[in-house]
Each structure stands twice: as structure tokens, then as C-alpha cells.
A = this chain, B = another copy of it.
Amino acid sequence: MQFTRVTVQEQVGTVSFERGKVNAINEALVMELTERLQQLAADPQVKAVILTAAGKFFSFGFDIPEFLSFSREDFTRFLTNFTSLYRKLFLFPKPVVAALNGHTVAGGLMLATACDRRLMVPGKSKISLNEITFGSTLTAGFLEMLVFLVGTRDAQRMVYSGAMYTAEEALTIRLVDQVCSPETLMDEAQRIACAMAQLDSRAFASIKLLLRQPIGDRMREREPDSIKEFVDVWYSGETRKQLAEIKIRS
């Protein structure tokens, strides 16, 4: 466990990304977070979860430079694990609050979208699904979650344009639920998570799954074809050239 840290306070487990300055998502981070979630789901002391990070980024999204050396097979395996992670997060039986401390981009937003609530800091931090700007497609499962969150219209507008949103703009389309200053973000996340931790656990899990399982089922059903398509686009000459130009500040 080198890229995530977990603390538990008042029945709330907080998972923080700790991978460099931008928390780029690589396979190790995905496997770690998957294991963290499994532990938190099983831990009877934990009644709610917060997902967050420190610094200017919640997450930059995929660690593209690292993935450029991956074979198609390896990248397919990573995508299978990543999509499985966001699906588990979407169907996580306990309440999950995303405390978006900074830029929340692409794969980072995919994880945030899976949560029950999103709080975000205002100002320079941007939220974006910029895949189309570098010739990448998206995944079927993520689009199912995005439509669940903001509806088809705003989902279409976001993914067609790849535009960047401030937290305030994201609030108007309800992509985030609340804008919090950096000073109050974690307190507010803790307050909300604590309140949700008081709910009857079994009733909450049951209601959450009644609402989300049908979407989860479609996600699982559509994902294998979607991953194949994602890989085909990712390894096409035109997209590959654009990916090679992406740098990560570290």
C-alpha cells in the first residue's frame, strides 16, 4: 500500500490518494484502492467512506506516459480492473462521499462519479472529461454512471466538448453537490459522512442497490465490448500521437 492512505474517525473511513503531485491512476493504484474498498466494506467499525487527496489535484486521470509502454493485453487488463473498481465503488454498500480537493480529470472524475456525494473546492480547480480532446473514447460503464448523475443532456454536452468546468459550473449541472472552501472541505465531508453513517445500514444498502443495481448490471454487461473499442481507439495511430504529447507534472 504505497499510493493510498486510510484513516478512520467516528465510523468514517477516509481514503486519500498519495501518488505524486497529481495522483495519476496506474494499475498499482487501482489494485490498492480495490483492496482498500474491500476492507472498508467488511469493517463493521466503518459506516461511511470519504475519498479524497491532498494538494492541487484530486486526480489527473490515467497515468498516460506509463501506459504508453503497455502492450494491448496489459492495457486491456488494466481497463478491466479499473472499470471493475468504479463499478464496485458505484455499488459500494455504504455511503461514499468524494471530497474533491483539486483538479478532477478523466479517470479521476470517473471515480468521483461513482460516489454518493461530491464536494469540491472552488476557484482554479477544474473538472473535466477531456478524452475527446486527445482522441480517446470513453467507457460504457462510466457513461451509464454519468447519465445516472446528470442526465443524458448534460452528459452529452460534457463528453462531446471535453470542456473544463469550475466547481461552480459543475454545481449548476449537479455534477457536484456542493462547493466548499479548501479550509472547510474535509470538515464538511466528515460532517456529511457522519450523518450518513447514522442511517440504518441495512436499509441504506438495500435502497442504494435498488436504485443503482440496474445501472450496475448494464455497466457489467456493456463493459467488455466497450473496453475492446477503447483499446482499438487508444492504439490507433492518430490517437497514439496525441497521447505521446501528454506530460505529467511530478
**Interface: A160 (CB within 8 A):** yes
A198 to chain B, nearest CB (A): 10
**Known contacts A137-B210, A143-B211, A156-B211; A233/B203 CB under 8 A:** yes
Oligomer: number of copies:
3
The docked-state distance in angstroms from the alpha carbon of A110 to that of B130 is 31
Query: Which residues in chain A, 153-212, are within 8 Å of chain B measured between CB atoms?
Result: 153, 155-156, 159-160, 174, 196, 199-200, 202-204, 206-208, 210-211
A residues contacting B by CB (< 8 A) are 95, 116, 131-132, 134-140, 143, 147-153, 155-156, 159-160, 174, 196, 199-200, 202-204, 206-208, 210-211, 214, 218, 222, 226, 229, 233, 236, 238-239, 242
| With A143-B210, A174-B153, A218-B214 as contacts: A131 and B203 at CB distance below 8 Å | yes
Which listed residue (B95, B150, B233) contacts A202, Cβ 8 A? Answer: B233
